Structure 1
Amino acid sequence: MGALGDISSYFPSLRSSATEYHPLPTYDRRYHDENLDSDFPMPTSWRRGRSMKSRRRLALWLCTSSKRLFLFLIVSFSFFITILTGTLKTHRLIEESKEAPYHWEAYPRLDGFYNGIRALVAYKDWIPEQEWPSEAKVSTHNAPPFEPQVVDPFPNFTSAKYLQEYHPVQVCFLDEDEKHPAPDIYAYPSVPAKMAAPVFGDYETLEIASDRCYERFGRFGPYGYSYRREKGGFGLSEHSTYEGTEKVQTIIDKVDYRKVKWGKAQKRCSEKNKKRFSAKGDKKKDGVTLLTMRAMINELSLQSGGEYDVHLLVHVKDNALPIWISEEVYNKTLRENVPEEFRDIATLWSERQLQTYYPGPFLKKDNVANHAGTDIYGVYRAAHFALQWFSQQHQEYDFVWNWEMDIRYVGHYYELLNGASNWAAKQPRKFMWERNSRFWIPDYHGPWQNFSSLVAKETADSGKAPVWGPVTFRAGKYGVLSSPKVTKPPTTFEEDNYEWGVGEAADLITFDPLFDPSKSGWVFRDDVTGYDTSVPTPPRRAAIVTVERLSRRLLNTMHEETWRMHHTMFPEMWAPSIAFHHGYKALYAPHPVYFDRKWPLDVVDKTFNKPSTPADSPFGRGEHNMQGGTFYYNSGFSGALWRRWLGAPENGEGGRKTEESGTGRMCLRPILHHPIKHEVVE
């Protein structure tokens, strides 16, 4: 479905039953937080008669590279949906019919998300649904009142200012004959009337345009959404409304993607622009990244003049295949499992291969707790092994974006990743970890600077010493890996005037808070292996959903910790904890997150930032509070909203007839959706 497609449908021989990501039980007073095996019931407003069982993980690895000061980014895209080796035993502890609704289900449901292109208003005239007058009605036009425009989040590559600092950017093409330049995508320079405002984060802070929205033809039409398969597209728009598509349909270049070889296209683009990334000369160098499929490859690599590369990492489930020692077996497996279009950007790996790469030993006696009950080499507990291995093979990249396959983005990928990277580089290290652990609610806390000052005050009032540089802990008989000298603070905490870290590229960027799992009820908080269990478990941090950017030096340290020290932790906890231990710069990027209910903002703050007990944290028993959001592993609203945006009916709502009789196709502001477990376009 859509231009990105359901990847498992492209790789039928790699499908497998998925392992569940177990949330904690909720509302069942019979169980305390150590009884961790349960499902959450989903709210009725977007329930589809299925449990939240499968957490199919496909990681898309964006790797970033540069020599010395500047970055290249690669993306590596790993098909974790294909690799989960079994389904963990699940129990539904609560019958929905006997359970009281979640407290947030009592709040009014927001429906402005579903307004379409015939209800667009200028951004200056937009009133969020949370502030919408109860008596007011949405005005509907006979046709979209605005024209779609090209989305261009890139620097002006031809300006005199740019060319004074950088080498010229050469135009990149999809084909060798250079008949098809990297395509543009389109958005409306407006916002649907009554669309809700995000609850967490905002656009301007991450340098994302806040005054435009995307509908499906402009977003995915250039990648084959709207034209037939015999012409190289997907032909998915047959049952869609077409109102207002005339301009985009006329402009887009109908590329036959069956003939596109993405790896060769990226290589040609890099070759044409190699001066930009050369260490020689007095011009600045730019960066390179690697993301997913057609949209990501085009928007991050080809349109940027080679700033990003995209690699597709494919997990081979059959451990009997010696893909790492037989070129013949490797190539045969590649041909049989990866579509030709993406074959030249794919890298195969297997768990057996990584057993030889990280032989351990990883002893059971050195494991604090294995809540998943699975093998240490299984991808469910060691997804980072493959990421570290890939980085070791590609030391030319300084940064890696690790992406999960069930992520979707309504917006331009370059704008999101570049904005998050630029924002993170500007942040000081003072009170960094303390800010990281909280959700920023702009309409409650005020601007980012106000929020930062509040965190500093609350930290001082708590009497707890703020984190400053690498943390120390008792290592016991196994010892610890030394931290690099560059992460040692240049001054004392008191002497620093929010200067240390400013202008420094972040070693870790996440899209969820970096919290202390020991002070939560998170189910995998104690899955720590290889450290001396006769002394207290090392301090650690975690970020749920492993969508993150990692620096080469952080990945190298993770590799050394695993290979040399035989240390590892659950994937969501590993990179944040190593960054925490060794004093690397880590940031939670406050991207916009929406909720489907009109929560009172003081309740939002109390629920997500100040839970009454650690077990009730939003990363423990309180995870149910995330179900109505657009970004968390157990969100139900996110997938429902995404499918409605694609034009599919959801729970008896939406679809073609609704769009035709209402305000037209939905038009969403940029939103990072997770998880998307299924996609149907009819």
Structure 2
Amino acid sequence: MSSRFQFNPLKIRTRFSYEKVPGDSQASSPFGAPLIKSWKHRNPLWANRLQRPRLSLARIITILIVSLLLASTLGTSIYRRNRWNDSPKGGEERKQYHWEHYPRLNGFFNGIRTLVPKEQWVPEQEYIQKSQSPNPEDNVKPKWPPASKEPTMDPIVFNPYPKWDSPAYLKNHEKVEACYLDEAEKINPPDIYAYPGIPQNMTLPFFGSYEELGMNDKVCFERFGRLGPYGYSYSREEGGLQMSDKSERNGQEAIWKTEPKVDYRNIDWGAAQKTCREKNKARFVEGVPAEPKEGEKAPPTKERTKRHAYILRTWTGYKYSDYQILTIRAMINELAIKSGGEYDVHFLLHVKDNSLPIWSSDEVYRKTIEDNLPKEFWGMATLWSEQQMRMYYPEPFPNNVYNHAKAPVHSVYRSAHFAMQWFSQVHPEYDFYWNWEMDLRFSGHYYEFNNRVGEWAKRQPRKGMWERATRYYIPALHGSWKNFTEMVEDEMYNSDEKPVWGPPKFENSGMLDSPPETEPPRSYLADNYEWGVGEDADLITFNPIFDPAKTNWVFRDDVSGYNLDLPEPPRRCAIITVSRLSKRLLDLMHIETYLMKHHMFPEMWPPSVAFHHGLKAVYAPHAVYFNHDWPLDVIDGTFNHPPKPTDSVFGWGEHNQLGNSFYYNAGFSSTWWRRWLGSREDDEGGTEAEEAGSGRLCIRPTLFHPVKYEKGAE
């Protein structure tokens, strides 16, 4: 491990007093000095006031230049999203990005005929290094082609749930009642299957860690074991979707030796979810007495199980493919039914036609749902419209700094969070609300991922929390999470930055009081990474939480309701609105909106409210893969330490995200996902290639975004 990542207190050069609760004095101009100066040099406050007038000639010219550059960047992103092979076709030439010159990685596409136990697995990056080593003992050659067309091992039931009936669980929790898919309680919720191994030379993720999140890192999932139990691989006459007829299928029959096929033609998921919740309602009530111990006068109360709303943001006119239906069935079954009602899955359905009186006619409400959702999900929808939000959060929202989108404040593009806030007020029974998008896919088990992410966030201390959240965790470079934590603190000590410690103090002319429990119980130096441990996170994001004032992210100044004669308030942002939000955070967002008339662009609003009020916010280091073999120091420098704002990967430098598995414009994510489904992509993969090669793909739990369309074997 390089010495630059080892904490050395002798190197500390403090430029501030840790004994005072530090604030955040970042008030950078949107188009001023930060574009050409290091972000460590803060603008004086008067510079912000000079740059406020939005109709000045200089600002108009600057905006035009920025708009042209942005259009060019977005055009490139669209181009890359649809055509992004390394080799241009038809004589077409373009300049390649720097990362495209790194070697392509292909271990993602190794199949089930190459499965090995985790202990024998050599990641692709390590194999490349060994194959280039002068030491003959390092030259590991894989066996190729595979000797058999059958998988090298059998699939197993994947069960990430606690042992509900164990004495250890029942000691502190109420009994979990089993749930079913039908009213007669004859149809058991299905299991899914994983292979207890990893394809040899499967690529290692650059960002994130299964081990750190507490996930099972020794298994992989292929399409039959993951989606088969939801109807993928059996006929419509049996109640399935019959989608696997042209797929490579060796070994798939193993799951049907013990797994019954569910007839989904008459399943009512909303009714099944409601019944499950009702059967287990004792789990969600405070104050249930626990079993008394011998000699105890008053037995302790059992721990209340916290509840989650898992919210799918959809809209009228959305087309549900069979693949989308498989995904939604998996969510409901794994999160709600098999967990004993811990989750409720909801469709938050945006009605685009503002003239529909969805709030005054039950008939219109019902028909809108029936016209826009598959029948099996009818009982799970909540409708909303922009017109409804105009009444719920009425104008004005004054003093906008800069509306780059040129859209009304109530448009879903600028205020997708309005509906989430409203939903949390209509449904106050939940502790947490998951903001989920329709173009997300996950290859693993939903309950394992959601549960482990939440538990990991709960273990995180507040000290260094915001600083760690700004960076991608690269285990191959940073080592353990403890080492990463110390490295971030070391970097902060040797910079001009002040650590965030409680709600920041900044100039304003009207702010809500922050919850009293968010004030630090001790000074920053006196805290030994203790404060916050065991506290549920108010916000969990899946991309870093960065300071947009330090970047040229185009929406960083879409801020309303604050005094324009003062510097812009400090802000935080996480690209892609996918997140878990606490009821406490959503309540504050709601009150800030309707009472204070404060507003920001959707990807800025939840992190900024959490920041202003000292709530607990974390970026979960889930696995993110890249399709090029970046040098570790380069990927760290590019994503974590860009030399100037124009290089930020959350702005004009976002082309660096094109080759990964999770970002708003990631091109590789949808390609890899469709290859996993059996599709032929860019003249590679597909049934014939799988049959002739290593079989169908088997991948570790991975969150994909975006996946705009799906297809399988053809």
Do they fold alike, i.e. is TM over 0.5? yes
**Structure 1 counterpart of 2:384, from 328, 349, 355:** 349
Inter-partner Cα distance in structure 2 for 1:202 and 1:149: 23
Deviation at 1:31, TM superposition (A): 9.0
Partner of residue 609 from structure 1, selected from 630, 637, 640: 640
Trace 1:545-584 onto structure 2 (pairs within 5 A): 545-584=576-615
Corresponding position of 1:6: none
Aligned equivalent of 1:71: none
Instruction: Give 3-state SS (helix, strand or coil) of 1:313's partner.
Output: strand
Once the two structures are TM-superposed, the CA of residue 168 in structure 1 deviates from its matched residue by: 1.8
Partner amino acid for 1:372? A
For the pair 1:392 / 2:425, whether they are aligned, the reply is yes
Shift of 1:236: 1.0
- 1:89-123 per-residue CA deviation (whole Å, 9 max, x = no partner) reads xxxxxx99554210010011011110110010110
- TM-aligned CA deviation for residue 474 of structure 1: 1.6
Note closer, same or farther for the CA distance 1:390–1:677 as it changes in structure 2 (3 Å cut): same
Match of 2:305 in 1: 286
1:194 equivalenced with 2:225 (yes/no)? no
Structure 2 distance, partners of 1:215, 1:122, is 16
Q: Secondary structure at the match of 2:435?
A: strand
* Change beyond 3 A, Cα 1:346–1:96: farther
Residue 379 of structure 1 deviates from its aligned partner by 0.5
Does the C-alpha gap of structure 1 residues 649 and 156 become closer, same or farther in structure 2, counting only changes over 3 Å?
Answer: same
- Gap change, CA 1:98 and 1:652, over 3 Å in 2: closer
Distance 2:64 2:653 in 1: 14
Deviations along 1:596-630, one digit per CA (max 9) or x if unpaired, are 01110010111111111012111012101111111
- In the alignment, the residues of structure 2 paired with residue 524 and residue 401 of structure 1 have an alpha-carbon distance, to the nearest angstrom, of 23
Q: Check whether the contact 1:40–1:624 (CA below 8 A) recurs between aligned residues.
A: no
Identity of aligned residues (%): 55
Residue type of the alignment partner of 1:524? F
Structure 1, 286-295 or 334-343: larger mean CA deviation: 286-295
Deviation at 1:328, TM superposition (A): 2.3
Matched letter for residue 482 of structure 1: D
Determine if the alignment matches structure 1 residue 337 to structure 2 residue 372.
yes
1:472 aligns with 2:505: yes
Counterpart selection for 2:437 from 404, 413, 437: 404
Q: 1:432 aligns with which of 457, 462, 465?
A: 465
Q: 1:452 maps to what in 2?
A: 485
Q: Which of 502, 505, 520 is matched with 2:551 structurally?
A: 520
- SS, match of residue 155 in structure 1: coil
Q: How far 1:191 moved relative to its partner? A: 0.2
1:109 corresponding residue in structure 2: 104
Aligned to 1:261: 268
Structure 1 residues 32-181: aligned runs within 5 Å: 33=66, 35-38=69-72, 39-41=74-76, 48-49=82-83, 97=92, 99-132=94-127, 133-134=130-131, 136-139=141-144, 140-142=146-148, 143-181=150-188
1:33–1:621: 8 Å Cα contact kept in structure 2?
A: no
Task: Let me know the Cα RMSD of the aligned residues.
Answer: 2.1
Tell which structure's C-alpha radius of gyration is larger. Answer: 2
- Rounded to whole Å, the distance in 1 between the matches of 2:352 and 2:262 is 33
Moved over 6 A (4+): none
Give the aligned residue type for 1:102: Y
Q: Bigger CA drift: 258-267 or 188-197?
A: 258-267
The 8 Å contact of residues 81 and 666 in structure 2, kept in 1 or not, is answered as no
Of residues 629, 638, 648, the one that matches 2:669 is: 638
Provide the TM-score with structure 2 as the length reference.
0.82
Deviation of 1:286 after TM superposition, in Å, equals 1.7
The equivalent position to 2:247 in structure 1, one of 205, 215, 240, is 240
User: Which residue does the alignment assign to 1:227?
Assistant: 234
**Equivalent residue runs for 1:295-334 within 5 Å:** 295-334=330-369
Q: Which amino acid aligns with 1:151?
A: F
1:665 CA drift (Å): 0.6
**Would the aligned equivalents of 2:309 and 2:430 in 1 still touch at CA under 8 Å?**
no
Distance apart, 1:177 and its partner CA: 1.2
**Which of these residues, 575, 585, 589, is aligned with residue 616 of structure 2?**
585
Equivalents in 1 of 2:309, 2:231: separation in Å?
21
CA distance in 2, matches of 1:170, 1:359: 44
1:169, distance to aligned residue in structure 2 (A): 1.3
Structure 2: distance between partners of 1:106 and 1:549: 37
Which of 609, 623, 627 is the equivalent residue of 1:596?
A: 627
- Give the conservation status (yes or no) of the 8 Å contact 2:306–2:431: no
User: How big is each residue's C-alpha offset from its partner over 1:641-667, in whole Å with a ceiling of 9 and x where there is no partner?
Assistant: 000000010011110000000000100
Following the alignment from structure 1 to structure 2, what is the Cα–Cα distance between the partners of residues 254 and 42? 42
- Please give the alpha-carbon distance, in whole angstroms, between the structure 2 residues aligned to 1:412 and 1:329: 36
Q: Distance in 2 between matches of 1:98 and 1:362?
A: 47
Structure 2 distance, partners of 1:241, 1:636, is 25
Instruction: Go from structure 1 to structure 2 and tell me whether the alpha carbon gap of 1:533 and 1:156 turns closer, same or farther (over 3 Å shift).
Output: same
Within 5 Å, give how 1:489-528 maps onto structure 2.
489-528=520-559
> Does structure 1 conserve the Cα–Cα contact (< 8 Å) formed by 2:190 and 2:262?
no
**d(CA) in 2 for partners of 1:288 and 1:250?**
35
**2 CA distance for matches of 1:287 and 1:322?**
35
Unaligned 5+ runs, structure 1: 1-24, 52-94
CA drift at 1:43: 11
Classify the secondary structure of the residue corresponding to 1:344: helix
What corresponds to 1:10 in structure 2?
A: none
Amino acid at match of 1:358: Y
**How far is the alpha carbon of 1:459 from its aligned partner?**
0.3
Distance in 2 between residues matched to 1:228 and 1:362, nearest whole Å: 54
Q: For residues 94 and 550 of structure 2, what CA distance do their matches in structure 1 show?
A: 27
